[in-house]
Chains A and B, each alone.
Chain A
Amino acid sequence: GESVGLHLPTLSVQEGDNSIINCAYSNSASDYFIWYKQESGKGPQFIIDIRSNMDKRQGQRVTVLLNKTVKHLSLQIAATQPGDSAVYFCAETVLGDYKLSFGAGTTVTVRA
């Protein structure tokens, strides 16, 4: 079936630098996308979401970009901190359905 995938399984970033995590999706019917952060031993934590009628959305230190033409999603984290070390998942769904399809996950490690 169609799936959401991540381009890189791991990302090592220097503290203070910006991080970019990429995600490809293949279900053209998906119109709602969410980024989650999962720390060790915890459940996924909502970071930011975006609907398909937008191509960019900003939160606190995070920005999500959506390129529907190439079915690509990215999460940018500004001034990465040690607390940002976690596994990041993108997920896609159709609004109203809410059944999430998750990508494989990218492990982000922040170097001091």
Chain B
Amino acid sequence: SAVISQKPSRDICQRGTSLTIQCQVDSQVTMMFWYRQQPGQSLTLIATANQGSEATYESGFVIDKFPISRPNLTFSTLTVSNMSPEDSSIYLCSAVTGHGGTDTQYFGPGTRLTVL
């Protein structure tokens, strides 16, 4: 399995500002993703972080709001732009890596964002 870390672990931000979340994996991985988990809810995929090209966004998520970078095979960032209270959520990165012959997906600890 992969060890995935995120920074910051939590933050409280003012509306209208932006926050960049970092995700670091301890080994090279082919696929990385970003998910959002709103309070008391399940996880929703935001986008696939593609190494060397633009991220692929899911319906309802756009690059201007959630720009993503992936400069190499172990690191990605997600920016939450022009924040509003509705952006208060847990943001999670994940990576796909080998597990007993089948690649599977592991998650970081999450970044807990509160927007005032």
Interface residue ranges, A against B (CB under 8 Å): 32, 34, 36, 42-46, 49, 51, 89, 91, 93, 95, 98-105
Cβ contacts under 8 Å, B105 to chain A: 34, 46, 93, 98, 100
**Assembled-state Cα–Cα distance A90/B107 (Å):** 14
Q: Report the Cα distance A34→B41, complex, angstroms.
A: 18
Indicate if the CB atoms of B42 and A51 lie closer than 8 Å.
no
In whole angstroms, what is the CA distance A95 to B104 when docked? Answer: 9
Q: Can you list 7 residue pairs at the A/B interface with Cβ under 8 Å?
A: A34-B104, A42-B109, A43-B110, A44-B43, A98-B103, A100-B35, A100-B43
Report which of B96, B107, B110 forms a contact with A98, defined as CB distance below 8 A.
B96
Chain B residue contacts of A46, Cβ below 8 A: 1, 99, 104-107
What is the distance, in angstroms, from B55's C-beta to the closest C-beta of chain A?
Answer: 13
What is the bound-complex CA distance between A44 and B99, given in angstroms?
16
Q: Which of A42, A101, A103 contacts B110 (CB 8 A)?
A: A42
A32→B35 CA distance, assembly (Å): 19
Give the number of chain B interface residues (Cβ < 8 Å). 25
Bound-state Cα–Cα, A36 to B107, Å: 10
Q: Using an 8 Å CB-CB cutoff, how does the interface string of B72-103 with A read, 1 for contact, 0 for none?
A: 00000000000000000000101010010011
Give B6 Cβ to nearest chain A Cβ, in Å: 8
Interface membership of chain B positions 3-22, coded 1 if the CB is closer than 8 angstroms to chain A and 0 otherwise: 01000000000000000000
Judge whether A43 and B109 touch: CB under 8 Å.
yes
A20 to B99, CA, bound (A): 25
Seed contacts A102-B42, A104-B42; 16 additional CB < 8 Å A-B pairs: A43-B107, A44-B43, A44-B92, A44-B107, A45-B107, A46-B1, A46-B106, A89-B42, A89-B43, A91-B43, A98-B103, A99-B33, A99-B58, A100-B35, A100-B94, A101-B45
Tell me if B115 is interfacial: C-beta within 8 Å of chain A: no
List the B residue with the shortest CB-CB distance to A48: B104
Chain B nearest CB: distance from A76 CB in Å?
A: 20
Contact in complex: B102, A49 (CB < 8 Å): yes
A105 to B110, CA, bound (A): 17
A100 to B58 alpha-carbon distance, docked (Å): 11
